Structures are given as structure tokens and as C-alpha cells.
Structure 1
Amino acid sequence: MEFDQMLVNNADFLRPFAVTLTRDSETARDLFQETIYRALANKEKYNVGTNIKAWLYTIMRNIFINSYRRKSRQNTIFDNTPNEIILNNNKNVVQNDALAQLNMKEVKKTIFGLPEIFKKPFMLYFDGFKYHEIAHMLDEPLGTIKSRIHFARKILKKQIHRF
């Protein structure tokens, strides 16, 4: 059976799982669409004979977890006072949104200017994946991935020092 047809035949069961994870129908719809998109974008990674439902569940769960991690990082402020309190805040840390947008645009431009060998592992790390997950996805040794992410950070730090 062709991959696309298997995907269509097995996609409907994902909708209730998305609602269970997100507890919001609008967010669940977005999660479902992102899962289908990622499955299609990575169909060459699907091994024939593998349980496609389990494969799709895993993709959806990983997207949900990474999205949650990203949102958590964006809304957490670390207070460096001696008591090390973590404050959750849903407000912007930067008061000048225009300046923040300009700075973020420069940062993104710098990240996308990284050599491909460093950019790909760094972007996966930035998206919330662990070193060992990245090593598995890129089929590289763990030490190589750690090294590439380290060098990407070094390059970015040197180029973005003005912020």
C-alpha cells in the first residue's frame, strides 16, 4: 500500500488524541495539521511494516511536547537573586516590541546564516530536541552533535554580541 493512502486511512484516529493532548479544539486542529505535514515531509523515514498508527502518535506527541517546552521557555523569567525564584509571566520581557522584533529578526538571520553542518543540529536543539534525539534523527554520533551545537553557539555568540 502506498504511504499517502496509508496515511489517509489512518489519520482520523489522531483527531481525538490531539484534543486529549491540547484540551482545545482549535489547538488540536493545528496539532493534527502539523502532524500530517511532518508525516508527509518525513515519509522517507517511515519503515514499511512499521505500525503507522504508532509512528503518527509519536510524531504528534513529540510536536506537542516540543511546543509545550518552547512556550514554557518563552514564559519563564529566572530571578537571579539568592533565593533563585522562578517566576512564570505571560508578559513580554522587552517593553519595546519593535526593538525586540528587530533584534529577533537579526538573530534569526544570523542563525540561518550558519553553515548547514551546524545549523541543522542547532535548530533541532533550539526546537527542544535532546542531544541523543538529534543524533538519532541525523544519524550522527552523539559527540559530533554536541560538538556541532557547541560550535554553532560559539559562532552565534561572536556574531550577536552586540545584542
Structure 2
Amino acid sequence: MSTLEFNQLLLVNSDFLNPFAINLTRDKESAKDLVQETLYKAIANREKYINGTNIKAWLYTIMRNIFINDYRKKSKQHVIFDTTPNDFLLDFNQSAISNLAESKLRLKEIQTAVYHLPSIFKEPFLLYFDGYKYHEIAGILSEPLGTIKSRIHFARKLLKKQISRF
């Protein structure tokens, strides 16, 4: 199919896109943009259209995918409205600056709490914290698997009580 034939096929079948776009966006201006974007993508991907297939279904699919992708992008953006009379959009991509001194103090407190655990709980907990699996810890300490699991559980419980403000 030549480019001219494809463009004529698009023009003939583009009128049915408007109601579908309005149904998706619920806004006439957004619907016009969506139709324009759909036709642009259809022309840009003309070689992917198989001659003789349902062009309306192909265009519907393109439009639906564009709408879904735009919706996902917008849902991930943090945009707030400024309440000044001009109603400017402000991009809210600010991040909090962490206080390294505070986090180091917390880490030191956690390490102290782990150090003060009874050795029966501390050994399996530290091995688990280092990345060993339960069955590996059981082999290293020559203890049953259930015992290792319960000791790690009780170590977590004790740490949670000692460090309650986190």
C-alpha cells in the first residue's frame, strides 16, 4: 500500500475517533489532542499496518494505548496547584535533605542494641543479617532449623522493644 493510499484510508476513518477520544478524556480539547497524537502515531508506524486488516480497530488500539500511557505518566507526577490568582502549575519534585548526623546516631543505637542481645539470639541474628539463609545458619551453629528461626524471631522482638521510636 502506498503512502497516499494509506493517508486517504486514515482520513476516511478518522471521524470515528472523536467520540471515542471524548469518551476517554471527558474533555473536548484533550480529545482533539488525543486524536491528533493517534493519527501522528499511525502515520509514523504505517509499516506496521497490515493491508486488509480492520484499520478502525488498529486506530482504536493506538488511541487506547496512548491514553493509558499518558494516564500512567500523569499519575506518577507530583503536580500541585498554586492558589495565587494566576493558578500556575508548580512541579513538586522537591526531596527532603536527610540529616546524616541523625541517621548515624540511629545506626549507632541499633548497633548497640544488637550488641547487648543475649549471645543465644545475637549469633543467629547477625548471621541472618549478613545474608545467610536459615538452613545455612542451622548448619553453622549445629542447631535445628526451627530453633534458629525462633531465635531470630525473638531477637527481632527484643530489638523492636529496645528501639521503639523507629
Q: TM-score, normalised by structure 1?
A: 0.47
Q: TM-score, normalised by structure 2?
A: 0.46
